[in-house]
Chains A and B, each alone.
Chain A
Amino acid sequence: MKRIRKVGLTNFILLVSSLILVIILIGFSFMQNADSADEIAESWKVKNNIDQISSTISKMESFGLTYRYTNNIKYKEEFRLAEKEYDTLLKSLRYLVRETEQQVKRVNTIEAKMDANLKLLDSILLNPTSNLSSIENDNHRDVHFNDDVALILKDMLITADVILDKRIRKFTAWKLIILAGLGIATIIVFLSLFNLIKKIRPLIEELLQTQSDLERSNKNLQHTLKDLKISNAEKQKEIKAKEKAIEEADKLNESLIVKNQQLDHFAYVASHDLQEPLRTVSNYLEIFQEDFPERVEGEAVMYFNFINKAVERMRNLISGLLSFSRIGTIGQMEEVNLNETLEKIKDDFAVVIEERGIVIEHDHLPTITGYRIEIKQLFQNLISNAIKFTKPEVKPNIKISFDETANYFNFHIKDNGIGIPEKDFTKVFDMFSRLNSNKDYEGQGIGLAFCQKIVELHLGNIWVSSTFGVGTTVHFTLKK
């Protein structure tokens, strides 16, 4: 747009100014030309006047002579008329040649000579009876005067012709200038137009190109629009399908939640109800051994030991399963000050802490919203693990650190225990999974499974990092 304006503006200014200049020139020339034409006309008038004067003088002469010889009054009057005409003509000639000094002088000479001449003629005319000889003489003088005047008139005519010639040349010159000006104007106009076209052409071509490009891209756009409409319809279908899938997923989720609850309930009922017969078995094993000590001897002692151990282990497994199924099923989320929780746990562990010289350090912990009992169990299990999986000759050192992100509280419980091989980092969270023999480290393999369930109940994550033989850090997050 800027370019177009620039090109157009300079061209336009150039064109208009050239045209104005040429028109002024033409106008000036035209005026000069018109003046010349006037001058030519004047010259012609001068010439005409001179001729008329010449003929009038001739008339006067002839009428004068005729009157002298005939004395006919008619010729006298004719003479007077001619005289008057001469006066008028001379006056006008004087006016016409006023600008040419030479001619003016000549007119004066003519006038003087004619005045003398006319005086003589007048006297003759007033005195018609004077002698003829004198008339002859007079006639001579008359002719002489006339010849003189004729000569002067001739000179005037020549001068007038010269002036006329000059004026005609001037006129022609101005005419040529006008024609040249017109030619130049035409050339300028054509050049400007050519220039303009030359400059505008690429712009026009560009515009045409842009237009065709636009048309093409428009076509493309329409094409794309069509495609979009089609894909939109497909998307709509997809969205509907997805919505349906989501609905189904929601249904599945719901049924999964119900199933999970049923599973928890089943685990609860099963473990609760299994406890009673198992307890009966263990109770009556005890009674049997008390009541019939004589029967429990030799190999029977070993058998009874195996049975007792199995029963004990089963009882532990069942009670673990029972507690596991109970997590998060009763109670409400509430504000839990973790510092208080930790103090309680320390109290619970007071004896073992004293015995083994355990050091538990912790950052100032936040108050969170959660299930109070489960949260306590979580920390308790992790601390208990840290103590349990530290070699007896080593003083357990437990560090609990805390940081937070926008949505989560992050906890790290670090110990100086036996550590976990990397391949078992996820296995440790499986229910009933144990990495160590019962001989070295007692347990049912439910502690961390417990912790995982509690953390998941609080929409968090739990994982471990460890250097085998150096220590373990259990990391877990709880959603704010």
Chain B
Amino acid sequence: MKKLKNVLLIDDSESDNFYHARKIKKMGISDNIHICYSGHEALEYLKSELDGKHPQPTLIFLDINMPGMNGWEFLEEYEKLTVSQQGEVVLTMLSNSIDERDKSRAMEFKSVHGFYNKPLNEDYLKTIIDTYLKKYLT
């Protein structure tokens, strides 16, 4: 079974990142998981990725509440990047928020493919893979 080249986790919580990374690895989706602790850092990472320094992430998990640039601000900036416009990247929200309004606000962004509550579990991951990423894994 093929694996995704790169998965990006954008979250300020170290323990969550570790847990999510472990889940992704355990499910055999990807071995290459990059972690950014803020929206700003993630933007920098994605911009540098365009210069070919590292493989482009196929799947991104984005938290909302982060110090500095939060999830919303990141989305505003992210949609200006060409990488988002290629429609290749699957970005899903992964947050604490159970608020319906946060969910509908998130779904208004073209680049957002899903809205999930922490913690990331196997059902979520399977759904994402089955819906968007089958072609990379078979």
Contact = CB atoms under 8 A, between A and B. Distances in A.
Contacts of B130: none
A283 B22 CA distance: 11
Interface in A33-88: none
A154 to B, nearest CB: 158
Interface in A276-299: 276, 279-280, 282-284, 287
Interface string A219-260: 000000000000000000000000000000000000000000
Contacts of A330: 99, 101
A287 B19 contact: yes
A392 interface: no
B19 A284 contact: yes
Residue from the set A283, A319, A330, A331 with the largest chain B CB neighbour count within 10 Å: A283
A329 to B, nearest CB: 9
Nearest to B98: A319
A282 B118 CA distance: 11
A276 B100 contact: no
Interface in B60-108: 96-101
B59 to A, nearest CB: 20
B16 interface: yes
Interface residues on A, range: 10 to 19
A373 interface: yes
Contacts of A373: 100-101
Contacts of B96: 272, 275-276, 279
Interface in A350-384: 373
Contacts of B16: 276, 279-280, 283
Given A279-B16, A283-B15, A326 B99 contact: yes
Interface in A314-349: 319, 322-323, 326, 330-331
B13 interface: yes
Contact of B22 (A272, A279, A287, A326): A287
Contacts of B118: 279
Contacts of A280: 13, 15-16, 19
Contacts of A319: 98
Contacts of B55: none
A284 B98 contact: no
Nearest to B19: A283
Contact of B98 (A283, A287, A323, A331): A323
Given A330-B99, A373-B100, A276 B13 contact: yes
A305 B115 CA distance: 30
Contacts of A283: 15-16, 19, 119
A41 B9 CA distance: 163
B124 to A, nearest CB: 14
Nearest to B22: A287
Contacts of B119: 279, 282-283
A77 B99 CA distance: 171
Nearest to B100: A373
B15 A284 contact: yes
Contacts of B19: 280, 283-284, 287
Contacts of B100: 373
Contacts of B22: 287
A280 B19 CA distance: 9
Residue from the set B13, B96, B118 with the largest chain A CB neighbour count within 10 Å: B96
Contacts of A272: 96-97
28 contacts: A272-B96, A272-B97, A275-B96, A276-B13, A276-B16, A276-B96, A279-B16, A279-B96, A279-B118, A279-B119, A280-B13, A280-B15, A280-B16, A280-B19, A282-B119, A283-B16, A283-B19, A283-B119, A284-B15, A284-B19, A287-B19, A287-B22, A319-B98, A322-B98, A323-B98, A330-B101, A331-B101, A373-B100
4 nearest A-B residue pairs (beta carbon): A283-B19, A280-B15, A330-B101, A373-B100
Interface of B: 13, 15-16, 19, 22, 96-101, 118-119
Given A279-B16, A279-B119, A373-B101, 9 more contacts: A276-B13, A279-B118, A280-B13, A282-B119, A283-B19, A284-B19, A323-B98, A326-B99, A373-B100
